[in-house]
Amino acid sequence: MRSYLILGMCALFIIQYFTQVQWLQYVVFTLAMLAFGGSATNADRFPRLLGIIMMTTGLIMEWAKGTGFGGIIQGIFLILPLICLITLAPLLSIPLKMGGYFEAVSSLLHRFLNQPRKLYAGLTGTLFFISPILNLASVRILNEFIEELKLPSAMSAKGYLVGFTTALTWSPYFASVSLVLHYLDVPFSEYILYGLGLSIMSLVVGNLLFALWEKRNPIRYDVNTSEAFNRQHRTRLMKLGFFVLLLMSLCLSIEKLTNWSMIIIVCLISMTIPLVYVFKTKNRQKMTPLFIDFRDRTVPMMNNEVTLFMSAGMLAFALQGTTFANKMSTFLTSLANESFFLFASAVMLIVLSITYIGIHQIAAIGALAMQLKAEELGVTDISLVMLLMLTWVISTALSPFSGLNLMISRFSGISGFRLGIKTNGLHLSIVAIIGIAIISFVA
């Protein structure tokens, strides 16, 4: 029942986006609050408690600002595109599972088992390509296929985090990119090359650091790696790369032709691509269980995300224009006028301090994105977007409460606190320093 509620809310929100019917807005708002209540009830203890606190605080603050019921609806509607994104984007995993792409990836990684640096490059490279469209599901699915390799804990912890976080800076299928671009009103087509630059830089730094680490901590397997990597596997990998490029090209083309919100475009594509596969009669029987699994398992599993994202979004909207937010904006603006490096470092430290205690990035970075103005800071819109994206990456990787950290911790057996600071701290520090240096030139 909860799945139908969330999916119905997403469908009606997309319809309301195009029709702008007033009464439908109230229906969507009602469904959104019911979805939040149902998700919070079934969420894990900590996300449930934090979500209720953030939502209650946000509602009270927005009401106290004098905006009333209309302000609350506006706050919820500002975050609903993101809820639709995280709900509908996993539909893209259905055609990928149908195509046997992950078996080809597994075969490739098996081939490099006795070559740790190539294996690590294959692991991070695979996540670089599939994470942009599959989000956290990419880590879970890839782990299922290579679990029998028994990778050292440190290697999997480094590889999963480095590979996955590359997508946070440029993929329109991610909350980080879609939310910041949405709030700062920057077209995805203008930003993508800068985001890809940060992503590739992080990937290169991660692989260089692993090469140095592996030199001091040699990894050797006494196994036969003669498993065939045939032409069929190679063809499937090429098709996987083409599939990713096709999706990104579609996003860019539709945005340029229509000027629709990138989040809405991604949601429409996520629903349309699997339906195209259904038109083939031979695919229907195989795809039916995958659609049922999406409805009965994938959507209900998003309790934590729906609870945290919706409450954090409401809180971020409510913070806009408050005395605290205005003082923070004034402080950061004065720092930016003194030194861009001080300003960037302050933004990272503020967000990291907030997220390290469990509050989601959406609340911290969303509030900053709505409050800060590039022209007042003396920087370009692109540089502000890049800084907030880089901050999102660092805080996601370091926070022991982030969904990424919790998942990788479970797979690698390394605690969330050690995973961020000890295992990947050097990589994140170097990426932050180089990233700020690059952004300062763009500014």
Shortest CA distance to 61 belongs to which of 305, 317, 302?
317
Can you say whether residue 227 is alpha, beta or left, with left for phi > 0 and alpha for psi between -120 and 50 degrees? beta
- 401, amino acid identity: F
Q: What is the pTM of this model?
A: 0.84
CB atoms within 10 A of CB 434: 16
CA 35 to CA 32: how far, in whole Å?
A: 5
Domain chopping of the chain, boundaries: 2-90+302-442, 93-175+188-300
Q: Nearest CA to 126 among 160, 89, 96, 79? A: 160
Q: CA-CA distances (angstroms) from residue 333 to 317, 337, 338, 344, 369?
A: 20, 6, 9, 11, 13
The rounded Cα 247 to chain-centroid distance in angstroms is: 16
**Residues 123, 159: contact at Cβ < 8 Å?**
yes
Taking only the tens of pLDDT, the chain with its 443 residues reads 678 889 999 999 999 999 988 899 999 999 999 999 988 998 888 888 988 999 999 999 999 888 888 889 988 998 898 888 888 888 888 887 777 777 777 777 877 877 889 889 989 998 998 888 878 778 877 887 777 777 788 888 999 999 999 999 998 888 889 889 988 889 988 999 999 999 999 999 999 999 999 888 887 665 555 555 667 777 888 888 888 888 888 888 998 889 888 888 888 998 998 888 877 767 777 788 888 888 888 888 888 888 888 998 898 888 888 888 888 889 999 999 889 999 999 999 999 998 888 788 888 898 898 888 889 898 999 999 999 999 999 999 998 878 788 788 888 888 878 888 888 999 999 999 999 999 998 86
Cβ within 8 Å of residue 37, ≥6 positions away:
none
Burial 392-412 (b: 16+ CB within 10 A, else e): bbbbbbbbbbbbbbbbbbebb
